[in-house]
Structure 1
Amino acid sequence: MKTLVRGGMVVSMDPAIGHLPRGDVLIEDGRIAAVAPEIDAAGAEVVDATGKIVLPGFVDTHRHTWQTAFRGVGADWTFDQYRVAMHGVLKPHYRPEDVYLGNLLGRLEALSSGVTTMLDWFHCAERPENADAAIQALREAPGHSIFCYGAAGPDIEPEVRRVREVLPGEDMALGLRGPVVSTMDETAADVALARELGLPVSLHVHGTGGWPHGDRPIAGMAVRGLLDDRTTVVHGNGLSDDQLAMLADAGGSVSVSPDVELKMGFEPLITGRALAAGLRPSLSIDDCPSAGGDMFGAMRTAVAVERGRLTSRDVLAFATVDGARACGRGARTGSLTVGKDADFLLLDAEDVSVFPVGDPVGTIVAAGHPGLVDSVFVAGKPVKRDGKLLGVDLPALRARLLESRDRIAAAAGIAFDGSWTP
């Protein structure tokens, strides 16, 4: 089956192709077959992209999707308040059905705003049924999803092995317990397990001091050979330049969550310093109780805060091709490159909020928003068209999520109208 996306402004994120003021994209069997100013493809189904920007789907490298039901309640929270609220007060009341609904609605929301590939950093795995519910939701939502099992407790190995049996390696990652909240021996054991099972690892690091390993956790991992090209450090705020260089030398990556890091009082963003150290950062949302769930906002915050160190082209790469590399999918997605999966978006370039579009990259980063996302394609299949998700009963899902939220809030004895201060 052939599909020809015709006549859009093509932002390929492939340096060999560049940006085409007017271009066509040919799709065959779910993959990109050609990108050119004009393509003759007799018999192909035509998608008219006139007045649209065609660009790769976004890649979110770190999102705690299970928390979707409590969107917005943490807009004013510090990190300590978030940790107490979500993990201490609310999480104990989550049932598998609550996890399922949060993950499903959260993944659909991400998809609707253009996130075609997402790593779900799942740390609500106090019972096996919760992990199973999260995975089921990710499977039901269209889009590429990676389940990052957030290890918890003293004996994680049996559960990690169980989950690994039901997920292909490319669809699973291991979220490390440490090194900032566990011993280096535990971190070494977790990394050894991940390597045995062929899993990439992701770990949270932010702040300086106050952790078991002080402010040099990445140096400690480097000494023990625990860093490689499948290591992603989330946040990284406070890491010294030499530790960023160690991560770069090992081929690792960083995932920066601009809105959450700034709101919650982490150290300054490391995007500019990471580039200087030889790392290509990726972007992520983190949590929707505290921040919006779209990559447009993350890009805009990053370039505004790090202006002079970053350009709009840098941050669009962070949100697409660099994110794909961080997820181990650089050969499959992240750019409109021949042979890659046809994961792409059509943005409305005639919307009054962005018209007229001169530089499409600058427009996407400076003024882009989810309302521009007209269409989303995953592996060549439309999952959103004309501004509407396809094949999804959103009213029914909304009703179920509200019931879930209300039950959890009642059990926890909290209000979700902005009056609760953890």
Structure 2
Amino acid sequence: MDRLLLQHGTVIDTEPVAVHTDTDVLIQNGRIAAVGPGLDAAGAEVLDATDRIVAPGFVDTHRHGWQSVLRATAMDLGLMEYMSLLNGQIAPTLQPADLAVAAELTGLECLDAGITTLQDYAHIVYSPAHADAVVGGLQASGVRATFGYAQPVFAAADQWRADDARRVRERLLPDDDALVTMVLAAMGPSFAAPEVVETEWKLAAELDVRLVTHVGATADVPNPIALLGERGLMREGTLYVHGNTLTDEDLRLISGSGGTLSITPAIEARMNIGAPTLGRTRRFGVTAGLGVDVVTSGPGDLFSVMRAALMSEDVSDGERVPVADVLALATLGGAAAMSMQDRVGSLRPGKQADIVLLRTDDVSTVGGHNPIGTVVSAHPGVVDAVLVAGRFVKRDGRLLHRRVGEVVTEAKKIAARLAG
């Protein structure tokens, strides 16, 4: 049906963050047409959203989706041990068929938890077939995603596959308005020689795609963002990941250049990557969103990540962060970090109807006095319905994807093989 009315819900919008009780959301042709009380239901399918919180879908700004079939393999490992095991030992053994399943599973896991937009940093592209498999899996899942084309972590610099990145851009992902689009996931200034960085940045400009890169201060590169500036490589819309060890000046440079930051607080804390960055991003005006990062070492939902952001900042020297600000990070902030704020992240009329409905009559949510706090305190089990571009991908607590059972079965086989 072209028209859908979500009626009588507790609506939380994020532009700005505000709660509206007994409010309707009208969806037409995949977009939000109107938000308000008593909207006209003529010609629309009506869903009674009483006892539901209606909010924008969550935005995960950083995840390595290929690791969904390696869940909890590195829970007790530090960063270097994790990289040695996952990127050094296991990644080279994965075949394109494995990656297709892992990507589809990642998309379904996201949708099941109310994450409607995902940035998949795919540093697993050993061949064109590997790239095709990840793209195909994301598309099959129904999630909105950016495919971050990346060379494997331990690949030599001369293995960068510029020609294949061009192929993916031209043949697979030429449409920036499609559900799955492309970004270039670069090694970046913290981990690659300056000439390699320049090659990556020039390729992104040639392909007309955004850049995403892990970043942090190292002994060899104490000021990676300043280094980009010195070489004229600061680009608006570049998404920097982590940045826990960056200097204040580098954070100022990100903000001033129109760059953005992905904060993955659960993994950053667990792997001891560095002090929390949320307070400093707020202080220096850096546009930021939240990310899951890796399910090998932590949870795959943004409810957990929102709470990790709150708690990690609470135990730091920074100022206390309101729950409304954390919800904004998981929605409109994440959309802005991915340069998608004009498409998703809020319930503003005209935007894509990427929406999550949460049960407030569950034993874990009933009695809630603060709807925003209820969302941040919730868990994937109360996600009742999810829409992407106005289409239900989850309804009545159940994913509607026709291959859920097959994907789970295939993923179990892959996980068992890798465990052996």
Query: Does 1:290 pair with 2:297?
Result: yes
Q: CA deviation at 1:389?
A: 0.4
Selected match of 2:335 from 288, 300, 324: 324
**What amino acid does structure 1 have at the position aligned with 2:371?**
P
**Is residue 175 of structure 1 aligned with residue 185 of structure 2?**
yes
Over 6 Å off, 4+ runs: none
Q: CA deviation at 1:316?
A: 0.7
Separation in 2, partners of 1:352, 1:25: 26
1:373 matched to 2:378? The reply is no
Letter matched to residue 111 of structure 2: L
**Cα separation, 1, equivalents of 2:62 and 2:124:** 14
Match of 2:407 among 371, 384, 397: 397
Counterpart contact for 1:169–1:198, Cα < 8 Å = no
Deviation for aligned residue 1:169: 5.4
The whole-number CA distance in structure 1 between the counterparts of 2:353 and 2:208 is 26
For residue 290 of structure 1, report the CA deviation from its aligned partner.
0.6
Offset from partner CA, 1:229-259 (integer Å, 9 cap, x none)? 2201100011011110100000110001111
Relative distance call for 1:178 and 1:169 in structure 2 (3 A) is farther
User: How many correspondences in the alignment?
Assistant: 405
Q: Does 1:348 align with 2:359?
A: yes
Quick check: 1:274 aligned with 2:274? no
The aligned residue for residue 161 of structure 2 is 156
| Counterpart position of 2:322 | 311
Query: TM-score normalized by structure 2?
Result: 0.94
Aligned partner of 2:116 in structure 1 is: 116
- Does the Cα contact within 8 Å between 2:141 and 2:401 map onto a contact in 1? no
Partners in 1 of 2:339 and 2:55 — Cα distance?
A: 20
- Pick one of 195, 199, 214 that aligns with 2:205: 195
Task: Give the partner amino acid of 1:319.
Answer: A
SS of residue in 2 equivalent to 1:133: helix
- Where 1:60 maps in the other structure, the secondary structure is strand
Q: 8 Å contact 1:11–1:20 — kept in the other structure?
A: yes
SS in 2 for 1:358: coil
For structure 2, the residue ranges without an aligned partner over 5 or more in a row are: none
Q: 1:218 deviation in Å? A: 0.7
Further displaced range: 50-59 or 219-228 = 219-228
* 1:249 pairs with one of 256, 273, 294: 256
What are the ranges of 5 or more consecutive residues in structure 1 without an aligned counterpart?
A: 411-422
CA contact 2:288–2:336 (8 Å) conserved in 1: no
Give 2:270's match in structure 1, choosing from 263, 266, 277.
Answer: 263
AA of the residue aligned to 1:405:
A
CA contact (8 A) 1:280 1:318 kept: no
Give the aligned partner of residue 4 of structure 2.
3
Aligned partner of 2:15 in structure 1 is 14
For 1:287, give the aligned amino acid: V
* Letter matched to residue 253 of structure 2: M
Shift of 1:393: 2.9
Where 1:199 maps in the other structure, the secondary structure is coil
Percent sequence identity over matched residues? 39
SS at match of 2:304: helix
Q: What CA distance in whole angstroms lies between the structure 2 residues aligned with 1:383 and 1:122?
A: 24
1:151–1:174 Cα contact (<8 Å) kept:
no
Q: Which amino acid aligns with 2:347?
A: L
Give the letter aligned to residue 158 of structure 1. D
Q: Which residue of 2 aligns with 1:418?
A: none
Q: State whether structure 2 residue 56 is matched by structure 1 residue 50.
A: no
- 110-119 or 401-410, which deviates more: 401-410
* Partner residue in 2 for 1:339: 350
Q: Quick check: 2:269–2:312 contact (8 Å CA) kept in 1?
A: no
Specify the code of the residue in structure 1 equivalent to 2:103: N
Instruction: Return 176-185 or 304-313, whichever deviates more.
Output: 304-313
